[in-house]
Amino acid sequence: MEANYGILALIPPVVAIGLCFATKQVLISMFAGIFAGALVISNWNPLAAASYSLDALATNMADNVVLLLFTLFMGVGIAFIWRLGGSYALAEAAKKRFKKRRSVCLGTWGLGMVCSVNDCLVAAVDGNVFRDICKDYRISSEKFSYVLDSTAAPAAAFFISDWIAYQISMIGQGLDMAGITGITPVSAYINGLPFNMYSIFTLIFVGMMMYTGRDYGPMLKAEVRALTTGQFTSPTAKPMLDVGSELGEAKKTKPMVMCFVLPIVVAFVIIISGILYTGLTNPDRTGSDIMAILDACDAQKALYWGSFGMAVTGVVLALATRIMTFEETMTTIVDGFKLMAMTGAILVLAWSLGSVTKSMGLGDFVATYVGENIPTGLLPLLVLVCSCLVAFATGTSWGTMAIMTPLAVQLGYAITGDITFSTGMTGAVVSGAIFGDHCSPVSDTTVMASIFSGADHIEHVGTQVPYAVTVISVIAVLYVIFGFTRISPFVLIPIGIVALYFLQIVLHKYYMKKYNIDPNYRKFMTEDHKK
C-alpha cells in the first residue's frame, strides 16, 4: 500500500547515493537505503525495519524471478562465449577491421545499437568484444563504459526491444486513470516517440563524440591518461569485474567467430519469436498488428527463453566442437552463474529500493512539490525534471516510468485537455527516466556497464554525468520552447542536434585550455596508439 511520507520519502535514495559515493560499496549502500526507508515506514523500530527490508528483498526477488533467471542464464551464455574463444575470435576479426582509435570507438557504438533488443545485452555483448581492443588502442575504461551505458537504454527505449511492451502498458495505465478513451495505448506510445529526445540525442551525441574525439570534463583527463600512459583504468581504480580473471583464459586453439555469433543469434531469434508468440497467443490481445502483439506479449518470459537458449547453444558448441571436455563444460555452467551473482544481487537491491521509495510516495511527493503553480508552458519541463529526480533517486528507469507515466498523462490532460500533448509527455518521462538512470550510481544498467567494461563504477558515473547533463540541458530548453509554442518536435530535434554539435566544440576547447592539454590531442585520437 502506497502512503505519503512527504520529504521523508527522500531518505532512502539520499542514504543509498551518499554512502555509494562515500564508500564505493554499491551493495551495502543500497541495502542501507532500503533499511533507512524501512525505519521510517516502521516508525523507527529497528527490528520491524529489518523484517520489512528482508521481506522487500524476498518479495522483489520472487516477483522478478524470471528476470533473475534470464540474468543467470545470460551469464552462462557469456561464460561459454568467452571460454570457447568466441569473444577472442570476434575481437581478432574486429582488430583486422578497425585500424584506428576512432573506428574502434565507432564500432563499439554501432554494436551497442545492434544489440538493443535488451539493454542488458549491450553491456554483456559489446563489453566482451571490445574490452581488450580498447585496451590495445589506449581507449580509457571510462569512455568505454560510457559508450556501453549510453547506447544501452536509449537504443532499447527507441528500437524494437522489451522496453516497448513495458512503455505501452504504463501508458495504458495513464490513459485509464485520466479517463482518456480517444486513443489507444499503442497510438499514444507512437505519439510520444518524438518527445523521447534523450534517447535520440544521446545516441547521436555518443556517435558524435566517438567520431570527433572532442572530450571534455573528467572524460578528457581519462582519455589523455590512456593515450599518454596506456593505463586502461586510473591507478586508484577499483574495477567491479574482470571477466578474464573471473572465467580464466579463453580457449585459443580453435577460436571461431561462430562461437560468438551463434549463441547471440539464437538468443535474439528466440527472444523475438517469444515476444511474437506470447503476444499472438494472449487471449486479451486487442488487434492483429505488430504493436497490438507487442502490447500483449510477455517480454520477460521471452527474454528468459532467449537466455536459456543461449546457454544451451553454448553447451552444444562446447561438446560438439570438442573444444571443451564434459567436465569443463559443467564447470563453465557453474562459473556462468557465479559471474552474474553480483549483477543479480544488485538487481534485487535496485528493485527493492524502488519498491520502498514507491511505498513512501516518492513519485507523488516530487510531482506535487515541484508541480505546484506551474504554468502550462512549463509542464513538459516539469515532467522531465520530476522523472530525472525519481530515476536518480531510485536508480531504475523502469520504476520511474511506472511511477511517472500515469501521473504525467493525468497531469497533462487535466491541465490542457489535449490528448496529443498529454500522451507526448510520456516521451518526457522516458527521457528523464533514462537520464536519471545514467547519472545514478545505484542504477542496475549503469552498474552493468561498469562490470562488463572493467571500469571503476564511481569513475564511470563521474565521467558520464557531464555528457548526460549536456544532452538533458538542450532537451530542457527545447521542452520549454515546445510548452509555450507547441512547435512540432520534428522541427525542434534538428535544432537540438545542431546545438549539441556546437556545445561539444565549445566545451572541448574550454577544458583543453583549463587542463593545459596539448592542442594536438584530438589529432592523436584518430591515429593508431596500440600498446
Grid cell at residue 23: 564508500
Q: Angle formed by the axes of helices 397-416 and 379-394, to 10°?
A: 160
* Interval 185-211 mean pLDDT: 89
CB 340 within 8 A of CB 75: yes
User: Is 43's pLDDT higher than 80?
Assistant: yes
Q: Does 51 have pLDDT greater than 90? A: yes
Q: What is the dihedral of CA 46, 49, 51, 56, to 10 degrees?
A: -160
Question: CB-based contacts of 421: which residues, under 8 Å, 6+ apart?
Answer: 412, 486
Beta strands in 423-464 (DSSP E): none
SS3 content of the chain, % helix, strand, coil (to 5): 80, 0, 20
Q: Look up residue 67 and give its three cell numbers.
A: 528476470
> Average pLDDT of 176-193?
78
Q: What is the mean pLDDT of residues 339-351?
A: 76
- Average pLDDT in the 148-170 region? 77
CA distances from 316 to 79, 249, 329, 358 (A): 13, 20, 9, 44
Q: What is the pLDDT of residue 3?
A: 67
Confidence label for 432 from pLDDT (cuts 50, 70 and 90): very high
pTM for this one?
A: 0.73
Question: What's the pLDDT score for residue 529?
Answer: 47
Looking at the predicted structure, is the pLDDT value of residue 245 above 60?
Answer: no
- pLDDT value for 158: 80
Decide if 80 contacts 267 (C-beta within 8 A): no
More confident residue, 143 or 74: 143
pLDDT of residue 241: 57
Any idea which of 99-103, 123-127, 174-178, 370-374 has the lowest mean pLDDT?
A: 370-374
Backbone angles phi, psi at 45, to 5 degrees: -90, 110
Please give the average per-residue pLDDT across 201-214, as a whole number. Answer: 92
Tens of pLDDT, residues 24-37: 576 788 889 899 99
The end-to-end CA distance of the chain, in Å, is 57
> What pLDDT, on a 0 to 100 scale, did the predictor assign at position 44?
92
% of the chain surpassing 90 pLDDT: 23
Query: Which one-letter DSSP state was computed for residue 519?
Result: T
* 277 neighbors 283 (Cβ within 8 angstroms): no
Are 468 and 435 within 8 A, CB to CB?
yes
Asked if 52 and 31 count as a contact pair (C-beta separation under 8 A), the reply is no
Indicate the angle between helix axes 162-178 and 185-192, nearest 10 degrees: 110
86: helix, strand or coil: helix
